[in-house]
Structure 1
Amino acid sequence: MSATPLVSQVDSHNPEKSELIPLLGASVVELSAWVQQQGQPAYRGKQLHEWIYQKGARSLSDISVFPKQWRAEVAEIPIGRSTIHHRAVAPDGTIKYLLELADSQIIETVGIPTFGEGGKGPKSRLTVCVSTQVGCPMACDFCATGKGGYKRNLAVHEIVDQVLTVQEDFQQRVSNVVFMGLGEPLLNTENVLAALKSLNQDVGIGARSLTVSTVGIRDRIRQFAQHHLQVTLAVSLHAPNQALREKLIPSARAYPLEDLLTECREYVEITGRRVTFEYILLAGVNDLPEHALQLAKCLRGFQSHVNLIPYNPIEEVDYKRPNRDHIQAFVNILKQQQIAVSVRYSRGLEADAACGQLRASKN
């Protein structure tokens, strides 16, 4: 966002379609500059920042500390909040939200609470899985998101809003954010970077508690590394060889596994931070012992961590989740090969809120 937010976005062909840039996503410095442009003292920028990010204001008319006359003058300027179209609660406490944006598009975001001992204590952590696009162009065969096609990138305010929405609904501060919802984050890099900055500096979430997941876009991981962020990079691998990866991930045809791994190694060298590799286990497809050995060979000597995710079913395809014995056998082989590995059993399965089940839908 520029240092002068809320300049009208003018359509030269149809001035009546001009829009105002929403306030959400702007820093305290930018908001202070803007209020001064409106003839208000600079300290109102700090007040505005607090009301947007801490108090959850959805309209400037809600901000009672502002002069009534000025509130009326700027009432039409949007803060940039969505509305909850639908929410589904899973037995484990995970909540999936369908959020309606200003243009009536629907996106999904998920709030995932972590409870105390035995799952019965107080909530100790709250993770939000955010979307970065409406739909997804990657069309991975096992994932529901790409089945509905791609519509557009999300703006900065539409990404940050998801975190504030979950935080308000749970009435608990968000501790972690994972960019693993609808869309491919590195096809919306500019807005993702701005959202990461806002979540860190404005919402107050530590950089190391932010994770960006990508299926791999040529040159984008290298470019992402140049920003030297302290966030976690998660790469969706899902196959240990090129032929199998092409069957599961169409984009892999244009971006070979060897090239992707080379770029990931460069990321480690540039940032000094390890890469997490996400690997969805599909029964009889990519979960065999030979696959585990191939994966270990790919990652040997790599500063990385493998996150195994047992497949979560969707209606469009008939992949199956491996049984626990097969999962454990895969884990054991990786450990024997000195590969750091863990298994992530996705939350929210009953509400279709688990990994791979999200889709842009009003249903």
Structure 2
Amino acid sequence: MERNFEWQNKADIKSLTLSELTEQLVALGQPKFRGKQIYSWLHEKRVKSFDEMTNLSAALREDLSKRYYINQLSVIKKLVSKLDGTQKYLLRLKDNNCVEAVLMKYRYGNSICISTQVGCRMGCKFCASTLAGLVRSLEPSEMLDEIYTVTEESGQRVSNVVLMGIGEPFDNYDNVMKFLDILSSPEGYNLSLRHLSLSTCGLVDRIYELAEKKTGLTLSISLHAPNDEIRSQTMPINKRYPIDELLKACRYYFKTTGRRISFEYALIEGVNDEIRHANELADRLKGMSAHVNLIPVNPVKERGFKRGSRQRIEAFQKALEARGVNATVRRELGADINAACGQLRREYDQQRQEEEKQ
């Protein structure tokens, strides 16, 4: 495929916060109000070229096009579930890498799950996203454009955003924080961060940093084990940040923000899904304002993990609830289109590699 690398010699204007954009325009001799004008074109009207910014002079539009590029994503593949209408997108980035985004419909509105990196280096054993390692992190504009592209393609407004796709958000911390700033800006998409969830495998230092920002977002912790022995086998990050240290940071996050923590727990048959594991997990979470989201593990052929029966999953849930822990089993959406993150991108990359060999 032919690639256009013209963007490499220009600045990414859509990744600038309003204050950054205004400061740069003032330095170019433009009035201060110009920042809000252009910011609105980018994030409210979501134009794809400077020529569409009709309230700017032709000379300014030409100058902007020489200095900046307006990031865009293209849709490689779109799958729509016949079961529940879930839409899964494989999106091409400017350098021909690709990521996934999933649009899910709920009674309370539409939710989009987006990626924060191309690949992942966290190495969690049950996740397809990490099999080929980390390629690179996404820019703020690219995360925004996952939302902008899907809403344009689907014709539907998104009211909730989940950072739970490909990548570890805290491994791309600075860009994610800028993304949150732009996404929640009243002059932009204007999404309250109370409608955003960020999922992390447990980078403890970043949890403390996020707590101090008091953004209002929901923090989800990919816990997936009741003790260090099991978690270290399936999640390498646990060797750096053991469970006790992680939960200490979570308690601090709740104390500082008042926001309840959500714990993700992928149930793997014979590994972490026995009643004794549920009891041990309940002991760990005792006294915390927490919710446990039980996830029947998605089979990854390279790993060999299997999910237990429905009865086994329900028994685990009931064991937690009997110990006073709020627990639900995640509703599976898009089961007929492999809506779990990483699978579609991996299939596409493997196909592309085969074609390049021929």
Q: Could you say what secondary structure the match of 2:131 adopts? A: helix
The separation in 1 between residues aligned to 2:62 and 2:212, in whole angstroms, is: 44
One-letter amino acid of the structure 1 residue matched with residue 165 of structure 2: G
Counterpart of 2:167?
Answer: 183
User: What's 2:144 paired with?
Assistant: 160
Identity %: 39
CA distance in structure 1 between the aligned counterparts of 2:342 and 2:296, rounded to whole angstroms: 11
Distance 1:106 1:133 in 2: 10
Measured on the aligned residues, the alpha-carbon RMSD in Å equals 2.1
User: Distance between the aligned counterparts of 2:219 and 2:138, measured in 1?
Assistant: 20
Q: Give the TM-score taking structure 2 as reference length.
A: 0.88
User: Which residue identity does 2:105 align to in structure 1?
Assistant: P
Which region of structure 1 is more displaced relative to structure 2, 42-51 or 316-325?
A: 42-51
1:54 aligns with 2:59: no
CA distance in 2, matches of 1:35, 1:27: 12
- Say which SS state the counterpart of residue 65 (structure 2) adopts: coil
Q: Which amino acid letter does the alignment assign opposite residue 62 of structure 2? A: A
The reply to whether residue 26 of structure 1 matches residue 16 of structure 2 is: yes
- Which of 57, 75, 85 is matched with 2:76 structurally? 85
- CA deviations on 1:203-254 (whole Å, 9 max, x unpaired) are 1111111111000124221122121220010000001011111111122122
**TM-score after normalising by structure 1:** 0.87
TM-aligned CA deviation for residue 29 of structure 1 = 4.0
Partners of 1:308 and 1:221 in 2: CA distance: 22
Structure 1 stretches lacking a partner, 5+ long: 1-15, 117-123
The aligned counterpart of 1:271 is 257
Q: Alpha-carbon deviation of 1:18?
A: 6.2
Aligned twin of 2:57: 67
2:72/2:142 contact within 8 Å kept: yes
Q: Aligned pair in 2 of structure 1 residues 37, 61: CA closer, same or farther (>3 Å)?
A: farther
Question: Against the structure 1 CA distance between its residues 102 and 137, is the aligned structure 2 distance closer, same or farther, given a 3 Å change threshold?
Answer: same
Structure 1: which amino acid aligns with 2:69? P
Letter in 1 for 2:71: G
Deviation at 1:348, TM superposition (A): 2.0
User: For 2:315, which of 325, 329, 341 is the aligned residue?
Assistant: 329
Match of 2:303 in 1: 317
> Do the aligned partners of 2:139 and 2:175 also contact (CA within 8 Å) in 1?
yes
Correspondence for 2:88 among 93, 96, 107? 96
Q: Aligned AA for 1:304?
A: A
Paired residues, what number?
Answer: 340
Counterpart of 1:112 (choices 104, 121, 144) is 104
Measure the CA separation in 1 of the matches of 2:342 and 2:76: 21
Shift of residue 297, structure 1, vs aligned partner: 0.6
SS at match of 1:172: coil
Unpaired segments ≥5 residues, structure 2: 1-5, 352-358
- Residues 308 and 342 of structure 1 are in contact (CA less than 8 Å); yes or no, is this contact kept in structure 2? yes
Q: Is the 8 A contact 1:111 1:127 kept in 2?
A: yes
- 1:227 paired with 2:204, answer no
